[in-house]
């Protein structure tokens, strides 16, 4: 009954999408996403945010039923921490996220998640530009298409294939350490189920990157909109009616945007 593995894997993707969406609603987390160069304190704060969120999932799995729980996204969270924040964030997140499993007797979990966090930092450093991290697609055919289409910049196009391979390597380490998902009462996963597990991990990493990238674009748009309104007000000498005409919007719309950006 290999189908018994599919429901937890689908739930895993749903849980990851929910976590990413909830984090995207936080203004503090949005601000952290917008920073590409972070101080040590900012890296530690980002690590703590991700550690708490994904550590809770590991705790739920450890304290709940002995079978695999979709809430346990420790490996994916550690990898994301390294991809977004670099080595320090990935290493610290991996260590903290693994603590519930360590106390439960799963001693290989800490070196696994710590190493995966560092792997995420390596993938980030390999990117020709940090913006390329957010362009990643889990679809292999698209990455191969990019490689041949964007042949003038081999490092940029090859990065997406290396990124994809890095995520699969992280899942491979989980299987090698004997910590792959298991469902009580079911036999060991066959080859097809194992492939699906790898794909689930691939998409579980890609989903939050896409959600958070949309959040980053939204935040950038809001900042540009705010600057545009400020310039229009300066050009009109503070006259809102004239500023609204410059922006080609109604006065009521301008008032709404002034209140939205705390410019009223």
Contact 95, 76 (CB under 8 A): no
Contact 251, 229 (CB under 8 A): no
| 51 token code pair | 């550690």
| Residues whose CB falls within 8 Å of the CB of residue 36, separated by 6 or more in sequence, listed in order | 130
**DSSP character string of 233-262:** HHHTTT-HHHHHHHHTS-HHHHHHHHHHTT
| 246 token code pair | 């410059």
Contact 47, 92 (CB under 8 A): yes
| 263 token code pair | 């410019």
Phi-psi region of 166 (alpha: psi -120 to 50; beta: other; left: phi over 0): alpha
What's the CA angle centered on 214, arms 202 and 56, to 5 degrees? 55
From residue 108, how far is each of 101, 102, 103, 186 by CA, in Å?
Answer: 9, 8, 11, 23
> Per-residue pLDDT for the chain (264 aa), expressed as one digit of tens each?
467 778 888 888 999 999 999 999 888 888 888 887 888 899 999 999 999 999 998 998 888 755 556 678 999 999 999 999 999 999 999 999 999 999 988 899 999 999 999 999 999 998 888 888 888 888 766 666 665 665 566 777 788 888 999 999 999 999 898 887 776 666 778 888 889 899 999 999 999 999 999 988 888 888 899 999 999 888 888 888 898 888 888 888 888 888 888 887
Give the pLDDT confidence score for residue 172 in this predicted structure. 93
Give the pLDDT confidence score for residue 81 in this predicted structure. 95
DSSP annotation of 139 reads -
| Strand stretches in the chain, DSSP E | none
CA distance 31 to 23: 11
Closest CA to 91 of 122, 117, 123, 111: 117
């Amino acid at each position: 009954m290999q189908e018994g593995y599919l429901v937890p894997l689908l739930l895993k993707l749903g849980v990851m999408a929910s976590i990413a969406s909830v984090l995207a609603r936080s203004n503090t987390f949005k601000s952290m996403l917008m920073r590409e160069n972070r101080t040590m304190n900012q890296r530690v704060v980002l690590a703590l945010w991700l550690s708490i969120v994904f550590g809770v999932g590991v705790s739920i799995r450890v304290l709940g039923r002995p079978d695999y729980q979709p809430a346990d996204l420790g490996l994916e969270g550690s990898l994301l921490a390294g991809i977004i924040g670099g080595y320090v964030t990935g290493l610290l997140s991996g260590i903290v996220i693994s603590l519930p499993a360590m106390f439960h007797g799963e001693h290989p979990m800490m070196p696994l998640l710590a190493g995966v966090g560092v792997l995420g930092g390596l993938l980030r450093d390999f990117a020709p530009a940090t913006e390329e991290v957010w362009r990643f697609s889990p679809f292999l055919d698209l990455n191969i298409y990019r490689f041949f289409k964007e042949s003038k910049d081999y490092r940029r196009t090859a990065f997406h294939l290396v990124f994809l391979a890095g995520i699969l390597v992280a899942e491979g380490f989980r299987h090698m350490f004997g910590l792959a998902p298991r469902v009580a009462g079911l036999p060991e996963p066959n080859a097809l189920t194992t492939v699906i597990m790898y794909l689930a991990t691939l998409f579980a990493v890609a989903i939050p990157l896409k959600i958070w990238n949309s959040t980053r674009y939204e935040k950038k748009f809001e900042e540009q909109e705010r600057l545009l309104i400020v310039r229009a007000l300066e050009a009109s000498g503070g006259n809102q009616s004239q500023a609204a005409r410059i922006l080609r919007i109604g006065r009521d719309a301008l008032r709404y945007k002034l209140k939205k950006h705390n410019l009223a």
